[in-house]
């Protein structure tokens, strides 16, 4: 039975702190970061399968039918867990100080401190800037290619953080930038599919809290 309660506030900072505590409760906090990155890849794959279902594409008779909102929430949960593990975003559990992004301060008028901005505010911000930057006409399939690309950049940055072997001329990847890019594309896909990620996260965690974790 779950003992960690969902946060009273819907800020991104509070959600990340919740995921930190939830991962400890369910025994996921000590897992190798490489395994967590594999889990992120797995969840992105499940999300792609759910999108195929919504799009009415063909499935084999043995293909598991996945719920779109649940799968997109799972990607967010794993991403927040990785961000905590690598301290990419400030939260009360990881205790990393990071200056708020000035562009978010200007464009998100409902948030005096962007660290406490609601997840819905970030989603609306992404909706606006994707239109300004000319990405709003891309199809979901094209956005998924970008999500996979950004997840690959995140994995590369994590490998560099862990000092794993790589080519001598490999470009240096910024871990926090890579995590933010994955988050941004995930929100963009939610907007394309008319999914409220905040509500999807809460609904998914209500189900997860009733499950047994071994």
Closest CA to 56 of 135, 136, 137, 140: 140
How many C-beta atoms surround the C-beta of residue 4 within 10 A? 17
Q: What is the pLDDT of residues 106-120, one digit of tens each?
A: 233 443 344 556 888
| Structural domain count, the chain | 1
Domain membership of residue 51 (yes or no) is yes
- Cβ proximity of 111 and 104 under 8 Å: yes
- Cβ proximity of 6 and 77 under 8 Å: no
Closest CA to 157 of 188, 132, 180, 184: 180
For 19, the domain range is 12-209
Q: Considering all CA atoms of the chain, what is the largest pairwise distance in Å, rounded to the nearest integer? A: 51
Domain membership of residue 57 (yes or no) is yes
- Rounded to two decimals, what is the model's pTM? 0.75
- Measured CA to CA, the distance from residue 108 to residue 83 in angstroms comes to 22
Q: Residue 57 burial (CB < 10 Å; 0-12/13-18/19+)?
A: exposed
User: Is the model's pLDDT at 1 over the cut of 60?
Assistant: no
pLDDT of residue 186: 92
Q: Which position has the token pair 């509500």?
A: 199
Domain membership of residue 5 (yes or no) is no
- Measured CA to CA, the distance from residue 213 to residue 73 in angstroms comes to 18
Domain membership of residue 186 (yes or no) is yes
Domain membership of residue 214 (yes or no) is no
- Measured CA to CA, the distance from residue 199 to residue 211 in angstroms comes to 19
- Cβ proximity of 171 and 153 under 8 Å: no
Mean pLDDT within 152-159: 84
Domain membership of residue 65 (yes or no) is yes
Domain membership of residue 142 (yes or no) is yes
- Cβ proximity of 158 and 33 under 8 Å: yes
Domain membership of residue 3 (yes or no) is no
User: Is the model's pLDDT at 33 over the cut of 60?
Assistant: yes
User: Is the model's pLDDT at 132 over the cut of 80?
Assistant: yes
**The dihedral sign for the CA sequence 163, 31, 43, 179:** negative
Percentage of the chain exceeding pLDDT 70: 74
Tokens of 38: 């594999």
Higher-confidence residue: 10 or 182?
182
Tokens of 25: 């409760």
User: Is the model's pLDDT at 154 over the cut of 80?
Assistant: yes
pLDDT of residue 28: 72
């Amino acid at each position: 039975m779950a003992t960690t309660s969902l946060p009273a506030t819907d800020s991104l900072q509070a959600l990340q702190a919740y995921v930190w505590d939830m991962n400890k409760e369910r025994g996921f906090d000590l897992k190798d970061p490489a395994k967590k990155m594999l889990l992120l890849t797995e969840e992105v794959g499940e999300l792609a399968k759910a999108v195929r279902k919504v799009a009415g594409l063909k499935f084999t008779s043995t293909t598991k039918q996945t719920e779109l909102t649940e799968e997109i929430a799972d990607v967010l949960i794993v991403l927040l867990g990785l961000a905590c593990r690598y301290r990419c975003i400030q939260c009360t559990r990881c205790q990393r100080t990071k200056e708020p992004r000035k562009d978010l301060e200007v464009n998100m008028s409902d948030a005096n401190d962007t660290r406490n901005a609601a997840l819905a505010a970030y989603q609306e911000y992404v909706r606006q800037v994707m239109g300004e930057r000319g990405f709003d006409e891309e199809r979901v399939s094209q956005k998924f290619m970008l999500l996979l690309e950004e997840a690959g950049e995140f994995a590369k940055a994590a490998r560099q953080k862990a000092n794993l072997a790589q080519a001598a001329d490999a470009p240096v990847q910024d871990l926090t930038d890579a995590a933010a890019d994955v988050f941004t594309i995930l929100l963009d896909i939610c907007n394309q599919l008319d999914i409220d990620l905040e509500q999807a996260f809460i609904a998914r965690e209500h189900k997860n809290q009733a499950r047994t974790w071994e």
